Amino acid sequence: MLPFVFQKAAEVISIIEKHQYEAYFVGGCVRDYIIDRPIHDVDIATSATPAEIQEIFPKVIPVGLEHGTVIVKHHQESFEVTTYRTDGTYTDHRRPDKVHFVRNIKEDLKRRDFTMNAIAMNVKGEIVDPFEGRKDISQKRIQTVGEAADRFEEDALRIIRALRFSSQLGFSIEEATKEAMGKYKALINKLAVERLTVELEKLCAGIFYTKAVDYIFELELYHYLPIFKDVPLLLKQIEPVSSLAPVFAFVELKSSSITAADCVKAYKCSNQLKQQANILVDAYHRYKQCGIDAWFVYLLPEEQWDFFVYLVKQTDKEIINIQELRNIQKRLSISSKKELCLNGHDLMQWFPERTKGKWIKELLDEIEYQIVTSKLANEKSKIKDWIQWNQPDQD
């Protein structure tokens, strides 16, 4: 019996098969199933064309028709279904100029990057493995399908993917594959950086990260990693972590001239990641100045605690006890601005002679600080008294 994650997708495959087409689980889900790692998304490959899939299922979203990929909606869940294809030439080293749909699973497996990723499995759990991916998995080896040079010339992202699989799985890179990675490394410069970023994040999160870093240095691949090409040794100091925000915060703290914002820009990350990295850098400086107090815990979002602890450990080898943060958090009188018992309107009423201005925000901020640091109670009468003695400046 296949694990639960495959079961819903198996229904999709069975429906496709009922219409006389083939369909298989492919890619990372089969690899991870064989390795016995957690499976996060299940991809399906089929002999049916996107148009034929659209005839079979009532809800199909054409996300990448030119590459033969559609999303099939089945029982409120989404499944990526890709038509068997061979890739044409990759003149821009980014994506194939043209793909050709084929009707044979082996042809489709042949265009894939590594043998461990070129295994297909049907709903009965039967495996199609023409390139001996299972053997490579059992020998913990990353090896391209066919000629390594061809695979990397087609898509240089695979050079970085080899590293990230080595980091995630602890596998070694087979000699000819490694040699070709070195030979074609300059093609990494032609990649869309967003694709690099996705792989970098997975690389930094791998529990065998140091193994990947050894390859990065052996092949001098850091020259092709934005930011790290200027501070390669920092790569050796990073420990695995599941987000780039603490990595970029670490780069800012360790390098004299590169900021987390520079990293975010170079890797075209989201504004959200930028904000998270900046929060971590600010928290680090606040911690260094004042230690961990109520105001510190109040300002650092709980989702960032682990990353903050990580950052301090990475930067100064200091260990912070999360329990300490938790104890302080429990005693906080408010957990956010929203819990303040007054707002700008109240202040306007208390100072009818004043016009609206930035004094309102400044006063609210000060009141918030006083309350969080237990110098003032979160009660209107007490706050009013306090203001009598701390008259705000007029704008």
Ligand X SMILES: Nc1ccn([C@@H]2O[C@H](COP(=O)(O)OP(=O)(O)OP(=O)(O)O)[C@@H](O)[C@H]2O)c(=O)n1
When binding is defined by CB under 6 A, the residue of 85, 93, 95, 112 that contacts ligand X is 112
Give, as ranges, the residues between 27 and 86 that touch Mg ion (CB under 5 A): 28
Distance (Å, whole) CA 67 – CA 131 = 23
What are the C-alpha distances in Å from 14 to residues 17, 18, 124? 5, 6, 10
41 is an annotated ligand-binding site residue: yes
Stretch that binds ligand X, among 154-162, 176-184, 185-193, 219-227 (CB under 6 A): 154-162
185 binds ligand X (CB under 6 A): no
Q: 49 or 115, CB closer to ligand X? A: 115
Is 154 in contact with 123 (CB distance < 8 Å)?
no
Q: Please report the DSSP string for 240-274 in residue order.
A: --S-HHHHHHHHHHHSSS--HHHHHHHTT--HHHH
Cα Dmax for the chain: 83
Return the exposure string of 318-338: e unless at least 16 CB atoms fall within 10 Å of the residue's CB, then b: eebeeeebeebeeebeeeeee
94 is an annotated ligand-binding site residue: no
Structure token pair of residue 327: 């104890």
When binding is defined by CB under 6 A, the residue of 113, 129, 252, 368 that contacts ligand X is 113
State the nearest-atom distance from the C-beta of 156 to ligand X, in Å: 9
State the nearest-atom distance from the C-beta of 83 to ligand X, in Å: 13
Structure token pair of residue 116: 């461990």
216 C-beta neighbours (distance < 10 Å), count: 22
301 binds Mg ion (CB under 5 A): no
113 binds, among ligand X, Mg ion, none (CB under 5 to 8 A by kind): ligand X
Contacts of 270 (CB under 8 A, 6+ apart): none
Q: Is 361 exposed, middle or buried (0-12, 13-18, 19+ CB in 10 A)?
A: exposed
When binding is defined by CB under 6 A, the residue of 22, 108, 129, 155 that contacts ligand X is 155
Q: 40 or 375, CB closer to Mg ion? A: 40
Distance (Å, whole) CA 385 – CA 369 = 16
Q: 113 or 129, CB closer to ligand X? A: 113
199 binds, among Mg ion, ligand X, none (CB under 5 to 8 A by kind): none
Kindly state the number of chain residues that form the binding site for Mg ion, as judged by CB under 5 A: 1
State the nearest-atom distance from the C-beta of 39 to ligand X, in Å: 8
Q: 74 or 158, CB closer to ligand X? A: 158
Stretch that binds ligand X, among 57-65, 110-118, 245-253, 378-386 (CB under 6 A): 110-118
What amino acid is encoded at 378 in this protein?
A: N
36 is an annotated ligand-binding site residue: no
Query: Which residues of this protein are in contact with Mg ion, per CB under 5 A?
Result: 28
Query: Which residues of this protein are in contact with ligand X, per CB under 6 A?
Result: 27-28, 43, 112-113, 117-118, 155, 157-158, 161
